[in-house]
Structure 1
Amino acid sequence: MSMHFKPRRATCIVECEHGILLTETSHDLLLLPGGQANRGESRLEAAIRELKEETNLQAHAAIFLFDHESRSNRHKVFYLIASGTPIPMDDAKALYYYDTLPANKAAKLSPATREIIEHFKAVKAEHQHHLDALKAICLKDKLPL
């Protein structure tokens, strides 16, 4: 019996004024912020680190939403509340917002990103009041994680 190893990826959903934040890779692929966890690093720690490295946003709260297995990764998807002005850094060459994505860029969304966002929308519809309360509490004092 052979088992295919899939990297452990921390995937971030961050809602900004213009929608869900996306990063563009050097291969013109649009992904949710995130990346692989380093040895000894939890995926929550990786999510917070990757968000800062890719977008310069400072996380103030993070909650685990769900697991997602894609063709190439095992994702732990986190909802992060962050502050700052998003700017592309590290391996993100540009930033976009899912809700205002130009048609020519929508074709560049990874299949996993599409699936994760659709799953998130269902979770959000059921738990919007909890997410709003979390934002209000966490952004009041803006204490970094």
Structure 2
Amino acid sequence: MKERATVLCVRDNRILLVARLRSRWALPGGRIHRGEAPHEAALRELEEETTLTATGLTYLFQFSGFNTLHYVFFAEVAYQSIAQPSNEIARCKWFAPVKIGTLSTSVPTREIVELFFRHMAIVEHDGSGPMPKQVVDVAP
């Protein structure tokens, strides 16, 4: 099974998605290189694909796709920073969660977004606050 670091960025209740030329929308992320920790791959892929640098990174959960294991992270980015397509990415755009279900995306992208918002609703409802999972320090 392939391993992938997958990154959720949220701004104004919108999720950042990326797409290659003539391809479906997806969450930023990519293959974890040999000897690379999943959080390192998440930081690298986010910057390579969107030019965004995470100011904070939180591990959320693992998601098993058809033949890929996704290590899913929540990335905090500076509010004023602008996502720009880079490397193999042709488009970056922020989408409302309800819009994602109408886009051409992979099944894992839709399900990871749904799981994330379901998790956030539970966390906010029980009062435990946002992101109670493991926080990864990204300071140099």
2:103 maps to which of 104, 107, 110: 107
- Out of 17, 23, 48, the residue aligned to residue 12 of structure 2 is 17
Q: Identity rate of aligned residues, in percent?
A: 30
Confirm whether residue 69 of structure 1 aligns to residue 64 of structure 2: yes
Q: Where is the strand percentage greater, Structure 1 or Structure 2?
A: 2
Whole-Å Cα distance in 1 between the matches of residues 102 and 92 of structure 2? 13
TM-score w.r.t. structure 2 length?
Answer: 0.82
Q: Which residue of 2 aligns with 1:88?
A: 85
Give the 4+ runs in structure 1 shifted more than 6 A: 100-103
| Rounded Cα–Cα distance in structure 2 between residues aligned with 1:124 and 1:18 | 11
Query: Gapped runs of 5+ residues in structure 2?
Result: 132-137
Q: Which residue of 2 aligns with 1:33?
A: 28
> When the two structures are aligned, how many residues end up with a matched partner?
129
Q: Secondary structure at the match of 1:127?
A: helix
1:47 matches 2:42: yes
CA-based RMSD of the aligned residues comes to: 2.4
Secondary structure, counterpart of 1:130 in structure 2: coil
**Matched residue, 2:134:** none
Residues 26-73 of structure 1: CA deviation (Å, up to 9, x unaligned)? 342110000011110011000001000101111011111111000131
Change (3 A) 1:96 1:72: farther
Q: Secondary structure at the match of 2:115?
A: helix
Structure index of larger Rg: 1
Give the whole-Å Cα distance in 1 for the aligned partners of 2:62 and 2:97. 26
Paired residue secondary structure (2:23) = coil
Structure with higher helix content = 1
Q: TM-score, normalised by structure 1?
A: 0.79
Q: Secondary structure at the match of 1:35?
A: strand
- Relative distance call for 1:52 and 1:25 in structure 2 (3 A) is same
